[in-house]
A and B are shown apart, each in its own frame.
Chain A
Amino acid sequence: MRALIIAVIAVVLAACQANPTTTGGSGANSKQAQGSYPSGLKRYEVGAELKQPKMNMAQSAAAKEAADRARNQERNKRLSSDTARAALHFKEQEGLFVWKHRFGEFSGKALNPREDLNIPGGNGYKLAVDGKFNRWKVNVLLRSIDFGVLTDRSHMIVAHINKGGDHDKLQPSLKLWDKALTTCRSTLPYVFGDLYLVLETTNPLVAALQVCLYEETKGDQFLSAFMKGGHALDDFVGNNGLDITLNEASSMY
């Protein structure tokens, strides 16, 4: 009897050795087929093919800028017809198109404190300005809109013109502007006012559309002054702490 019990125990022990139970995280047999988690506190590195170099924020920003620049340059090559058209009035600087014209001066004063536009998901202010733009007296409501950190960037000024009162003389200019928008088939998706001027953009298509608008309206003295003096107007707005930046296409950061 004793020999029988010993024999049974021996069989059970042998069976256990052949199929060990999972203790301490060894998991199931199916895991053995796929791989395993070794015991103890282990560091499981991100896959070498996925891992990217660790950078501080300054390095990260520089790397992003370089990547953006390369992407823009690549796209500019791909959209060569738009790039060529943009080159008529934009200077390309490492993938960024900058409006060439730098004439005229703007002098003026803000008529009221800046007012929050309450834009969902972004920041924006508006400011009424009474000023002189070359020989033109201008009363504009400038808007500053910042939609956050996005990849495809455009920087533009937007001027909402007071069409009534003493500003009847501007009506022909505005009619011409509306016609140009139709001709160029180019109401940009981010038009917030009656007039806009793209001063900088990473997108050759946007630059080409701006060129089209300029060509269609350059016979009008006011619009010509507005566009040629855009940088001066932008400087004035900047001096008032406003920054009109419009963007399209978001990224994660």
Chain B
Amino acid sequence: MKRRDFLKMSTAGLALTSLPGWANIANPERRLVIFFLEGGLDGLSTLVPKLEGSLESFREELIPNNLLDLSSHWALHPAMRSTHKLMLQQDILGIHATSFPYTKRSHFEGQNLIQGGGLTPFSESTGWVGRALDIASNGGRAMSLDTPLLLRGATGVDNYYPAQVNGSANPTIDLLQRLNGGLSPEWQIENEKLISRLDGRVFNSRDRSPRGLSAEAGQALARPDGPVAAMIRLNGYDTHAGQGGKNPGRLHSLTGELDTCISTLRQNLGAAWDHTTFITLTEFGRTVKVNGSSGTDHGYGTAMLVGGGAVNGGAVLADWPGLAKSDQFEKRDLMATTDSRSICAAVLEHTFGLEHDEIAERVFFTPNLPRLTDRIFL
């Protein structure tokens, strides 16, 4: 199987992370949601630098019609109407020309690096959210192999993926207790955990779509005793062909799906939106120039969205590098001028009440990581 086929085959997923009951963090009501956009988001067609004179010369056919204006400088992809509305309402901030410090353009390496948050791919067995939660809760570790790397390291990790088997979305305590007899001691412990959680269970749906998972995540996170972090995995952003622009293509569907997920999450969070921050992550950006298949290839710099009630939104934050050939990374990609880890660190600082220096040193192993918290949050 080719890697691209594998990427196409994998489906949306949701993982949630809870803090142990005895954890004592500064603002226990705060929540974090990560939309993980697998495949490499084309930031230039999502958050479009309208003033960039050379954009048309490199990719005229990829520039969507009916862009949603943000300002004289920027516009959003036309499929992102809810996101646009939330940006105008100052609840979402766009950040452009960002990337993790990874330039080799491999999906597997890139995805591992942005989840692990280490200095090189596959160097970490825990993820940056998991490490931050460990620091916040001073907790021991309970690691599940199925847990996304991003969340590994945290205590009380809950993996959720709605199954389509009849009755599987509503396991009964009786059934689970009967299962207990046939399980090995270590799995009995896990089974007991599941049984104990049934009373407070919030999952009722078997909707495996990204929208359905976003709704589940919102409802779970909104509970006062609910999980503190969620990762929602969306895939298909590897738009080598048929990306679309003047005519709607794959990116139109993908950004529309993300847009729906964001509005669904907000709707299901309700008042908890005021205490929730979401970010989008993707392993890399895409080439500036359109390829021969009306798509784009793996690149470097991309764009991120950060949203939520406490976000100082209604703007685009960027150290814009320009798109002239000489300004591009290796004369082909958008140059990344803002380290995505700085944005992640700000989100961790705000959500879990950790010190920036501690996050820089113990979560991202980069003591001199710039602090952007005041630029992102109110």
Contact = CB atoms under 8 A, between A and B. Distances in A.
B274 A57 contact: yes
A17 to B, nearest CB: 17
B168 interface: no
Contacts of B321: 24-25
Interface string B70-109: 1111100000011001011111000000000000000000
B163 interface: no
B198 interface: no
B88 A46 contact: yes
A28 B71 contact: no
Given A28-B53, A44-B316, A51 B274 contact: no
A253 B317 contact: no
A34 B53 contact: yes
A44 B271 contact: no
B69 A50 contact: yes
Contacts of A50: 69-71, 88
Interface stretch (A35-43, A75-83, A156-164, A235-243): A35-43
B340 to A, nearest CB: 13
A234 to B, nearest CB: 25
A50 to B, nearest CB: 5
A46 B82 contact: no
A252 interface: yes
A58 B271 CA distance: 7
A253 B88 contact: no
Q: How large is the interface on B (under 10, 10 to 19, 20 to 34, 35 or more residues)?
A: 35 or more
Contacts of A44: 70-71, 73-74, 315-318
B319 A39 contact: yes
A46 B91 CA distance: 12
Given A31-B53, A47-B69, A253-B82, A41 B315 contact: no
A130 to B, nearest CB: 27
Contact of B322 (A22, A40, A45): A22
B313 interface: yes
Nearest to A50: B88
B131 to A, nearest CB: 26
Contacts of B318: 37, 41-42, 44
A30 B56 CA distance: 11
Contacts of B87: 46
B273 A57 contact: yes
A27 B52 CA distance: 7
A26 interface: yes
A56 B314 contact: no
Nearest to A116: B204
Contacts of A39: 319-320
Interface in A55-70: 55-58, 60
A47 B90 CA distance: 11
B327 interface: yes
Contacts of A40: 319
A27 B54 contact: yes
23 contacts: A23-B326, A27-B322, A30-B54, A31-B51, A34-B53, A35-B51, A35-B72, A35-B73, A37-B320, A37-B322, A41-B318, A41-B375, A42-B319, A43-B315, A43-B375, A46-B71, A46-B315, A50-B71, A54-B89, A54-B90, A55-B89, A57-B270, A253-B263
Interface of A: 21-31, 33-37, 39-47, 50-58, 60, 149, 252-253
Q: In the A-B complex, list the 7 residue pairs whose CB atoms are closest, starting with the nearest.
A: A30-B53, A25-B322, A37-B320, A54-B90, A31-B53, A22-B324, A41-B319
Given A27-B327, A43-B375, A45-B315, 19 more contacts: A33-B53, A39-B319, A41-B318, A42-B319, A44-B70, A44-B318, A47-B70, A47-B72, A50-B88, A51-B88, A52-B89, A52-B90, A56-B271, A56-B274, A56-B309, A57-B274, A60-B89, A252-B81, A252-B82
